[in-house]
Amino acid sequence: MNKKVGIQDLGLKDYKETWDYQESLFQEILGIKIRNRREGLTMPTPNHFLFVEHPHVYTLGKSGDISNLLVSEERLKEKGATFYKINRGGDITYHGPGQIVGYPILDLDNFFTDIHKYLRLLEEMIILTLADYGLKGERSKGETGVWLDVGTPFARKICAMGVRASRWVTMHGFAFNINTDLSYFDLMIPCGIKGKGVTSLNLELGKEEVPMEEVRQKLLRHFTELFEAEWA
């Protein structure tokens, strides 16, 4: 099993370009697995972890409801935002500057073959990172992602998640609000969940800005421990 993971920080990059890049890495891993099985080979499969920030964009998962986007695509254009229907699970999500988006493209045969466990460990990575800042992140039953003040009238989401998997290879991932302009969430019903708010790390800490690289390093440290991974 290859537990080495290659890290790439793509900076600020267009959503569609990044999606296409994810797909190319995803298909490369699938191709190796199919060839190994067909030809009786044992060629190792690579693992990747992409960090990126996107310009303002809304994405709708394959099981999502378009009515959760509360404005027209023309209005989105006025706000400088784009919209895509995509092939991950989950409903509608916003990505934008000041948000850490992470796309682990892993062959889970290298780690464990359990999608539920995979999602729970991604959530735990965020929860542990929030704890580093003195915040109590939590899971909300039946709602993938990480929240604050679950079970109260003040429940609010700080990290959304949605993944795709085929033959135990993953793509898509998480969107962690760090210094995010939360007004963009007003244009949708986040993840299709009504009556709950969203928040960001800088808002919760009462800071104008939290260093993004600092947060990324904490995420990577916790990912390494949780997945028993090493960096390529």
* Annotated binding residues for substrate: 88-95, 160-162, 173-175
Residue 159 bears catalytic tag: no
Question: Which of the 8 DSSP states describes residue 154?
Answer: T
Do the beta carbons of residue 139 and residue 146 sit within 8 Å?
Answer: yes
- Looking at 163, 171, 191, 220, which residue is catalytic? 191
CA distance 140 to 156: 10
* Partners of 198 in the β-ladder: 157
The position carrying tokens 């990505």 is 95
Q: Burial code of 173-204, b = ≥16 C-beta within 10 A, e = fewer?
A: bbbbbbbbebebbebbbbbbbeebebbbbbbb
Q: Is 109 exposed, middle or buried (0-12, 13-18, 19+ CB in 10 A)?
A: middle
Q: Is 89 exposed, middle or buried (0-12, 13-18, 19+ CB in 10 A)?
A: middle
Question: Which of the 8 DSSP states describes residue 140?
Answer: E
Please list the active-site residues.
191
